[in-house]
Amino acid sequence: MEVHGRWWNQSWGRMARRDSWLLTDGRLWRVRGRLGGDGGQEMSYDFTDEASARTMIDRMMKTSAGTWRDLTEAVRHESNRRQ
């Protein structure tokens, strides 16, 4: 799946860190969230349209502590550099 969005709440540690991704395969939209750092608890939600998926991302960010940072461009640059 291709990454269309990536966010982090700028908090460190297993109890505070939150990460979110917006992914698509061109047909299905998936929102992935992770509580804690690498190896933390993950959840995902599937949607048939981008608007619904983005609504879920917004809801996740509004209900989680921290100052959310959009890492989408950084992820795209890293992906392009690897190719």
Q: In this predicted model, what pLDDT tens digit does every residue of 1-39 receive, in sequence order?
A: 999 999 999 998 888 999 999 999 999 999 999 999 888
Each residue of 49-77: pLDDT tens digit?
999 999 999 999 999 888 999 999 887 66
Query: How many CB atoms are closer than 10 A to CB 56?
Result: 17
Neighbours of 80 (CB within 10 A): 8
How many structural domains are present in the chain? 1
Which structural domain range is residue 69 located in?
A: 2-82
pTM: predicted TM-score of the whole model, two decimal places: 0.87
